[in-house]
Structures are given as C-alpha cells and as structure tokens.
Chain A
C-alpha cells in the first residue's frame, strides 16, 4: 500500500484540535467583545427627526424630566411626549424655527413625530419605570447624564447581566428619592453613605426581583 500521507501528517490531528481551540477562543472573545450589548448598544446615537437638545432643555433650562416624560412615575413606559407638550412653550418660543416644523405639523395633523428608539429591550422583557423611579433609582443610573447630552446616546448596555448587577446589590445604586430626578446628584454610596443606602433598602423593603418572573412574563 503506497504511502498516501507524508509522515508530517501525524501531527495533523493535534494541529487541528489546537487550531479549532484557538479559533473557538478567538470567536468567543470576538463575540464577547464586539457582539454583546455592551459593544453593540452603548454609544448608539441615531439621528432624530427633530434635533432635540437635552443639554439645553433639561440642563440649561433646568426642566424636570417628568415635564415631558410624564408617565414615568405611574406606568411602565416613560413616555415620549406628545407634540402638544412641545407646543406648550414652542407656540410662543421659536415659533417659526425650521427645526421645529415636524413638531408643529404633528400638533396640527396628529401624525406622530417618528422619534428613533434608542433604548430597546426585546419583546419578552417587561421593564417598569415607575417602580424604579419611585424607589430611589435615578434616571442617570441607566440613561447616563442625559442633561449633558446634545444628542441622546445609549450610555449603558441594558443587558440582562447589567440589570442583575444592580438587582443583586441595590444599595450601591440607590439615591435619596428626592434626588431621583436631579441628574447631577450622586448615589448615596458615592457620597460615602452606603450605610444609609442599606438602611433605605431595609426600611423600604427594596427587594428587586432576581428570578425570571420579575421581568419575563
């Protein structure tokens, strides 16, 4: 029987295994680094139909988040306001600005302003804003310093493990309830008052769900 394979082929199986191992490792590392929410979502900064500037409205003018995102304290969604809310001021201020044309049209015709959604969770995840903002979790914890953003971008990964990081250790991210909508405030832990935070968690019976039923219905 003639020799089909050269002797060097003896090392081939080991080479293949090592190669596949390295390939797998590189693939896993690549996916972990490049294809997980922390990479894919953070920094997402789409162009919006209206160049709404949070740093001007929420930062400079000091408008409270809840003026526009009115349902955040009552419902699961923190709603994007109807054009009527914008027109509350913009019927008097910058009434002819071309940048606001979309808003004015929306108010008149009822056609919605097609805002691009930045923070998205899959359909099988049910997140509720009201239970967070009423229990000491500020907008800043999840959305970053929106009052300093000219164009809103996604600040955190909003992945399940990121949510669980806080759910498993809420005291680290809690702040005084009256500071929740003050985006320049700090968490109790950051102020060195971790003991107060833990007391808060205890007194208010803050028990964030860590089992599946908490968010998956």
Chain B
C-alpha cells in the first residue's frame, strides 16, 4: 500500500458541506503549503547539519548489524586462569586433598577426613583409620562444614563495640595474666567441656598460676553417666564403654545410645553388627527399651515400654530386684504401674544371657538408676565382656552453680566465657544473664555474636575447628588431632592460643602448643597428623568391683516417684537431634533436615502423647488421621496447623506449638532443646522456642509438675511427612526373626507374605535369576520408549538394609554436602519444596489399620504405642524409569551402566518426570535456591537481586553442577564419584585393559556416612561384590516392585526379634498385622494368623 500524501483539493461536493481543514495554511491553500505537503518531512527536518537523515539511518543500521554479527557487541566475556605464584606442595590442580582432623563435641570427638578443594574444605568424611567408626561420621559432623562458611559468624574481635586488632587481643590476654599473677583472686572461667589433652595441660598451668581462680565447666546437656554413680558403685573415676557387638540382650533405661549418648556413633555401629542378619540361621540381638519420649533407639526396640522418665528409677529397681535377686529396692518400686510380666520376662531374658547382656541407663537419669544398672551389669557378668569401664581423669572443674554463687557474692571481677552460650542455656534458676551483667569485666570467646556476647563487654572471635590447631579424644579415649584446613578466614583466635597466652606461654601459637603436648617429636607429630589418631591411646579398661556398701550412699537422695496426670505432667528435655544444645541454630542444613521422628523442620514443638491430646481435646476431629485430609486433620494445604500452648513449670512459662507424637509416655511432654535463639543470625533467630526458659538445675533432664494451657493461637509448622501410616501396604516389609511366621522359618516372607505373591514384577522365567542377569538379558517389555541396552562394563545398584538403619538422617545431610543441594527455607518447606535427594520415611504401625480405610474403627485414633519403621528413600534408578518416558526434551535418560542420569542443562522444567515418579524422589528448583537467600526468593528480575555471599559459595563441591532455577534434580548415585573412579581406573589400567573398578572403591556419600553400613552401592554384575551378595539374600525386595519398573535400589526386609514370653509379644510385626487386616480381612487362613497386637506395659 502506498503512502498517501497527495492531499488533493477537496472534491466539488465537499465544498458545499462543512469544510474541514487541518491548518490555516490549508485553508488558505498557499503554494508553500502544497509543497510542504509534498515532502514527507517538512523542510529542515530531514537533513541534520549536512547529514541526510536517511543516510544517517542507513549508516547506523549497517554498523549495528556489523556490531551484532559477532564483533564488539557479541564478544564473549573474558575468563581468566589464575595459577599460583609459587607452587604449593602436594597440590595438583583439579584434585582434592584430604587431611585428617576431628570434630570435637563435648568430651568426645569424631575423627574426620576433610576433603579440600583449592585449599578450602568442602566435605567431611569419617577417618577410616579409626576402626570403631569405620569411616562413618554423624549428622552433626556432616553439617559442621557449612558453619565454617557462615557469613554471620563473628568476624572481628570487639570490645564495647570497637574492633580490636590481633595485637590488642594479645595485649589484653597478657594483661590478664599479669593482673592476676600469683593468686587469680577475682578471676573466673566458664568453659565448655572438652577432652583435649592440650587444653587439659594448659588449664593445669592456669590453675597453677592462678590458684584462687575459679575454673568452671558447663554443658547444658549431659551425654555421659554422672561421675557420682561410678564413684558410688566402684569407688573409682571410671565411665562405661559399651560393647554392643558382643551383647545379645540389651536393656536401655531411657538411654538413647543411637544419638544422645556420648560415643553414639560407635554404639550404633556396634549394635548393627549384632543386628545384621545374612541368612535365616543368623542370630540377632534383642533390644528392650523403656523411655518416655520416642527416640531412634526406641524405634529399633523389639520391646518398648512407654514410661515417664521419673518412673524409670522404679522400673530399674523392679528389674534390678529380679536380676540381683534382692529385695533391697522394693521401696523404690512403689507406684510403678507396669505389667509385672514385662519386668519378669525382661529380667529373665537378661539372666539367661549372662556375659552377653547389657544394661544401659540414660545419662540424664539420676545417680541411683546408674548404680542399679552397674550392679546389674556386674551381677550378669557383663563387665569386661559387653561393658568395659575405663579410667578417666577427674575433671576437677567447678560447676556453673558454684560460679553463680561466687558472682552473687561479688568475688568475680573478670569472667572469661569460653565457647558455650550460658546466657541462653544456663539453668533458668541461676538467671545467668543477670549475673553476667553484674560482673565488671566479661570476656567472651565464641564463634558467633550470640546471647552471651550481647551481655559481655569483650568478644573474641573464635576460629572454627576446621581452621584451628588443637586435639581431642574420641569417646573411647583415642587421641585425635584437630588441624586446620585453611588459614582462619577472619583472623579469629584459636582456643589453645587463648589459653596459652593467658598462661603466659613463650610459644603461645596453637601449633606449638599441640606439638608440645605430643612430646615435641617432629616425626611422631607428622605421623599423628597423617594418621589422624594415636594408636593405642584409648582410655585403659580397668577391672572394677561393685561395692554394695558404698553404693548404698547413692540412694540417700533419690528423686521422688511422682504420679502423673493431665494436671501434673512430666517435662522431658531432650537434646535436639539436629540443633544439639543450640549451637547449630544458624546452620541451614540442620534446620532444614527434618527431625527423624516428628519430621518437622525449622521448628521444635511441644510433643504430647495421643492420650494427653485426647484429654486436652485437641485431637483432630473426624480423625481420618491416616490420610491427612485438609478439613479433618490439622493440616491445611500441607502445612501443619499446630495449636500454641503454654507450658507452666514451677512458675516459669514458655509458649510453643504442640505436635501430637505417637509413642510418648502418656503424661510426659517432650521439649527439644536448642531452639528459640534470639541472637543467632537470620537462620537461627526465631526458629522454635527455647525450652531452657523453664529448665532448672534440679530438673535438667526431666521435671514434674508441669501444666499445659491452650492459648488459642495457631502456628504453622513445616512438617515434611504428614502421612505416617503405610495403610496396610507393604512398603516396609517386616517379619519377626523367630516364631512360626518368622524369618528363620519362612525365609521368603518378603516375597510370599506380601503383594509380590499376588502381583510380582513381570520377569517371566527369569524371576529367580540374579539382578545382573535381569538387567542385561531380560527384555524390558513392549515399551515404545527405548531404553539403552545395559552394555556398560559395570552395572550399578544399591541395597539398603532396613534391619540396621537407625534413622539418624546422616545420609540426608551428607548428600546435601556432596551434591550442592540448597536449602529452601521454612516457607518453601511448607509448600513441600524441600530439596533433599534422600529422605528418611518414618512409619508408625499399631496393628489397627483395617480394610475399610475411612470409616473403620481401627483408623480412628492416632497410635499410642506404635512400632516404628524407617526407610531411606532415594531415586531408585529404575531400569524402566517412568520419569524417562515422559521427559519432552530427553533431559533424563539412562546411561549404559544403569544410572538414571539428569542433564540439567537440557531440562526445561516441565516437571512431568516428578509427576510420574512413583517414589516422589525428584526435586524441582522452583527458585534460584542456590543464588538467593531464603527470604529473597520471590524477587523477580525487577526486584533487588540478592546473591549468595561469596563465603557460602565456598562450601560447594566443584565436581557437581550447581543447579539453577527451573531445573529438576535427584539422586544420581553420586555419579561424580562413579565417573572419577572410572577415570582413575582407566588412567591406571594402561595396556592391561583392567578397567573394572574393584568393589568398595566407590562409596556414595550416603553409604560413606552411614554409621551402620545400611546403604551399600556397587557393581551388580560382579557376583562377589558386597551389593550382589546383599541382593542375593532372600530378604531382598523392591519397593513398589509390582509396578514392574525394576528399580536398581532394593531393600532388605526388616526383622524384629521379640521375646515370645513378653506380654506385648506379637507373632507378626504390627505392620504385617495391618497388611493382613487390610488385604485379607475376615479370613486368616493361608497367610498365617494375624494376631491381634496386645498392648504391653504402658501408663
């Protein structure tokens, strides 16, 4: 169409009507106007200073085009390679370096190997040279590497707001040394507990130099039995070291030795040795647990007694009376409301296993309980067999109570607080915050500017253990080094150096001090640092004799048995599984890791039993509790809508959300410690409530006399697993060891007594062949989607033993550390967007679920006394993966060695794969979790762009892609480790063609950290590999195997070992009872009787 610019004179007829004109010129119709119209652009506009406009536009367009075609505009940004100036010894660019160190925690330590990339630690593994741990490490150790890169750590020494330089700090310490020289009157220390030999040496020097100074040590939670108990029982300063591997019958009296007790890593591993079964004739140990809360140890129990912690003494006395065959403890058993058969049979079982039994009492229990437990062990002949008593040096430290008295008396002028956080976690009756304010000079040495720092005049920034020199001892006494992986990032002060300077040492550097402690021999020291331990340095076991006379003194002050009710509740203060005593509050990995039992992340809650909930009237109406229906259970859109209650104990109150926890003793409420920090950094501050507010010196572990009152308020909790029931499905397949239906008799229970007997995977005539054969030979059905032939040299597979898994969640955080998995924050977790690649599913079974899912009686109540089953769930790497067939862009494919691979760069974020996954193990990056802080996720491109601080980026593993928003991710069988092992093998192979990786070379992150070796990964084509042998066991099954997707990860069925004589004996585990009730209602024949579960002793 041509541009019409010819505005000819109006036609004749228009002259008669109204005349319209656009300008006076047009009206006048001057010749100039006509010329004006004829030009597209009026005179003057098209030429600019001699340059014709059109010419100009042509030139500009041409140069833009030229610029656009790969020249100035599209030049790629310059990247640089930055080599060292001088080469660094041992460093090969691209390869990680491993150094031995240890993570100290209270009086024990976990020996570690730190993997460092370019000088910074990125991942911690257990030190395999330390055999009791066998290379495993714990949840807390795995997460501790993130603390090193916490941008909210203390980065400068401060005094009343002004920054101090290192010289000023040294002067400050030297001045204290001079000021108090000779007497130390007015000087006081409040330190955390430590087993470090160097610290002990320096403290002895300090005490010698300042004899009148107070050296107090305080730990808010105790993980070792009270010293008074051993003193009373044996007259020596000894502590027990349990040898669970040798024990066949174990009684735990409120002792959570899988987690809360010192040495738990060693105990869990040893226990698993006694639990592991490879064939039907293998023996298993038997665990009796009496506890008030529900712990990991309780969930492993074969017989679990719900009993208030206050009543444990009575139970111990009852069982002790039977085992020791004495009536001395009769008076202590008054009021105990426990089925006497439970007590009798348990005692009988212990007596039948003299020398192979074990009685363990929880560290927080009163001295009397420990004394009776020691007496039982002595009588049963366990000492020297299943329990060793090792001599430990007496601590010689004062207590925080004594220090508080001294401060009140005004005799403390200078107080040094070393680590810990007494302003936050000291017993409430001491009111330590006020005491701190009353001391003239408080110097706080700590890693964070926390509650105690806020009340201290001077804060000295401490170094993290990964950047410090020091040493420590493991639970059994082996001396391990703490060596730095990196120079202190913020010029912090090392604890050893602080003590050395205070003591006026000539060579106060921490390295020199640790070197001196080891004897000053360079070669020996290098060996010490290389090995990561000193051989044979464990505490020596001593022979002890139980002294009845002396032991009697321990019973002089026993806490009174208190009958409990709704108005008189017992409060149990537990060491939180992730926060410990609160020191890890600002660790995002730990906050987001769900609690193994409650499955709540980012918060703690007041745990109440279902019975108490009923009495309080807060049980969700309608009670379709097995399926969290929005309108009836207390979940709205996946967010637990918890009621906020007030706990009143001895005049002190706290408020917190209430969570109904099956398995608790009826009138015990559990308050996890370690939350409710007020000065912690943006992750820790405000998460949860502080139970320390009502905890007093006379009830550090548990206290009675509490009341609960409803405030009427509600609070949302981020619960990652609302659905606690298997609903009669055989997701976790269990059997007893003995009995008619037991594994020993019906070794094929995993296939015969489950859905596999009705609807097995379609394998045709290959059903009994090995997994390797099935993977490589059996055809995979008539799918239109072609999966690659499994022609690789290896075929990877994994086996997870549910029999030994304790549910500690260490694998969750290990995977997060290894694979750069981000945290998402509480808001996103409430939307179900947590990113953990491996999760621990926790199921309760009480034997009541029945066929009619929704209306049935059996499904109307939360289980009061359930059996607990744990199951780690990761990507199963199905050979016929449902996720692969639906990816529109082929971003998730199978490689020829059986790994289901994720190509992040190809993913467009359809999320169909996650939709199709039957195990729901795929995770989507809804936001730039790796780039944005958790409170800045919704910032669009127009908002303020918050980047992850440089410091936090340092924790990322360079061998794994860091994923961006919009990309799906999932467990990769640690493909980076697999590939690196393949590369290393090929590099070494040369002409030999020996490219097959030997079994055990590759350990996935979850496998490496697991203390009980429940997870095993390897090559299923090698019949001698560990994983092949496990898959060949008759307990091997695939979860949801009937879907015919052939997962490469299979599980070994769980076994329980109950005592047929016990009153709560059930011939089938309760999950099997539920399965039978659901799937074979009304008739029992053919699959064995579905015995009704009898409730055992309870309150």
Contacts and interface: CB of A to CB of B under 8 A. Distances in A.
Interface stretch (B14-22, B829-837, B984-992): B984-992
A198 to B, nearest CB: 14
B905 A124 contact: yes
Contacts of B76: 40
Interface in B987-1014: 987, 989-991, 993, 995
Interface centre among A124, A130, A212 (most CB of B within 10 A): A212
A120 B92 CA distance: 20
B86 A126 contact: no
A213 B85 contact: no
Interface string A15-58: 00000000000000000001100011000001000000000000
Given A211-B894, A217-B979, A134 B83 contact: no
A108 B793 CA distance: 50
B962 A123 contact: yes
A135 interface: yes
Interface string A70-109: 1101111101111111000000000000000000001111
Nearest to A113: B83
B84 A217 contact: no
B758 interface: no
A128 interface: yes
B86 A84 contact: yes
Contact of A205 (B84, B85, B94, B793): B793
Interface string B68-83: 0110000010111111
Given A116-B79, A211-B895, A34 B959 contact: no
A70 B452 CA distance: 51
Contacts of B987: 73-74, 130-131, 134-135
A71 B92 contact: yes
A34 to B, nearest CB: 6
Contacts of B894: 211
A84 B84 CA distance: 8
A74 B83 contact: no
B983 A108 contact: no
B78 A217 contact: no
B87 A82 contact: yes
B972 A217 contact: yes
Interface string B212-243: 00000000000000000000000000000000
A13 B339 CA distance: 89
B84 A83 contact: yes
B415 to A, nearest CB: 42
Given A117-B81, A204-B991, A217-B979, A79 B86 contact: no
B87 A124 contact: no
Contacts of A109: 85
Contact of B81 (A40, A70, A74, A80): A80
A112 interface: yes
A205 B989 contact: yes
A107 B86 contact: yes
Interface in B751-807: 788, 792-793
A212 B901 contact: yes
A115 interface: yes
Contacts of A77: 93-94
Given A83-B86, A211-B894, A212-B901, A205 B993 contact: yes
B905 A122 contact: yes
Contacts of B959: 126, 217
A213 B92 contact: no
A216 B94 CA distance: 17
Contacts of B975: 213, 217
Interface in A186-206: 203-205
A135 B959 CA distance: 22
A213 B986 contact: no
Interface in A163-200: 177
A82 B897 CA distance: 39
A84 B95 contact: no
A195 B904 CA distance: 38
B87 A84 contact: yes
A207 interface: yes
Nearest to A35: B70
Interface centre among B83, B86, B896, B899 (most CB of A within 10 A): B83
Nearest to A105: B85
A71 B990 contact: no
Contact of B82 (A112, A177, A212): A112
Contacts of B960: 217
Contacts of A81: 83
A122 B964 CA distance: 13
A117 B76 CA distance: 11
B961 interface: yes
Contacts of B978: 213
A62 interface: no
Contacts of A110: 84-86
Given A39-B70, A203-B991, A112 B83 contact: yes
A126 B979 CA distance: 10
A207 B793 contact: yes
Contacts of A217: 959-961, 972, 975-976, 979
Contacts of B901: 211-213, 216
Given A82-B83, A107-B86, A211-B896, A216 B93 contact: no
Given A117-B81, A120-B79, A217-B979, A204 B990 contact: yes
Contacts of A213: 895, 897, 899, 901, 972, 975, 978-979
B893 interface: yes
Given A82-B85, A116-B80, A205-B793, A214 B979 contact: yes
A34 B991 contact: no
Contact of B995 (A76, A106, A116, A205): A205
Contacts of A204: 989-991, 993
B87 to A, nearest CB: 5
Interface in B80-128: 80-87, 92-95
A130 to B, nearest CB: 5
Contacts of B889: none
B78 A216 contact: no
B80 to A, nearest CB: 5
Interface centre among B69, B79, B85, B902 (most CB of A within 10 A): B85
A188 B357 CA distance: 70
B993 A34 contact: no
Contact of A74 (B92, B904, B990, B993): B92
B60 interface: no
B989 to A, nearest CB: 7
B903 interface: yes
Interface string B872-904: 000000000000000000000111110101111
Interface in B944-969: 959-962
B87 A135 contact: no
Contacts of B83: 79-83, 112-113, 115
A182 B995 CA distance: 26
A144 to B, nearest CB: 18
Contacts of A84: 84-87
A111 B84 CA distance: 7
Contact of A75 (B92, B788, B897): B92
A71 B85 contact: no
Nearest to A73: B987
A212 B899 CA distance: 10
A51 B783 CA distance: 59
Contacts of A134: 986-987, 990
A80 to B, nearest CB: 5
Nearest to A103: B85
B983 to A, nearest CB: 4
- Which 5 pairs, one residue from A and one from B, show the smallest C-beta to C-beta distance? A75-B94, A211-B895, A112-B82, A110-B85, A77-B94
11 contacts: A74-B987, A79-B94, A111-B85, A123-B962, A124-B904, A130-B987, A134-B986, A205-B993, A211-B893, A212-B895, A213-B899
Given A40-B76, A117-B80, A204-B989, 9 more contacts: A71-B94, A82-B83, A106-B85, A112-B84, A203-B991, A207-B995, A209-B895, A213-B895, A216-B905
